[in-house]
Amino acid sequence: MSTRLSPGDTAPDFTLPDADGRPVSLADRKGRKVIVYFYPAALTPGCTKQACDFTDNLDFLAGHGYDVIGVSPDKPEKLAKFREKEELEVTLVGDPEKKVLEAYGAFGEKKLYGKTVTGVIRSTVIVDEEGKVERALYNVKATGHVAKIIKDLGL
């Protein structure tokens, strides 16, 4: 089971392929705040709702200095289909080996329909301009999550 991050921790750096196979790195975002959100699978109802919410609020978040990166265990080809089908503008990256998911505490045991399973824990980590964890939210809901982040950040 991976260890969850806490405010003040250094956010683990990563470089993962986006929907077009291009590398996306957290280090490249130094000097900006980054909302890194982890979701189980592209093209599923909850994950679609969450990705659409982030896309709908992308300009607002960017205007307040935040970049958004969505991480799932999907391969770039599936992320590209997801992006095209749902007209997503949020940056989506794939972590098929689940190394980044584990480093962020977003992979492990969770309850699913009353059963304990191992999988992606829907999570959001907000990283400050210096690469430190500002907030780490685990077991978040797909619906209403973006509005809650905006409210909690006082934007």
Q: Considering only CA atoms, which of 138, 122, 117, 130 is closest in space to residue 53?
A: 122
Q: Pick the catalytic residue: 5, 35, 47, 106?
A: 47
47 is catalytic: yes
Distances in whole angstroms, Cα of residue 84 to Cα of each of 13, 53, 109, 116: 28, 16, 31, 33
Residues known to be catalytic: 47
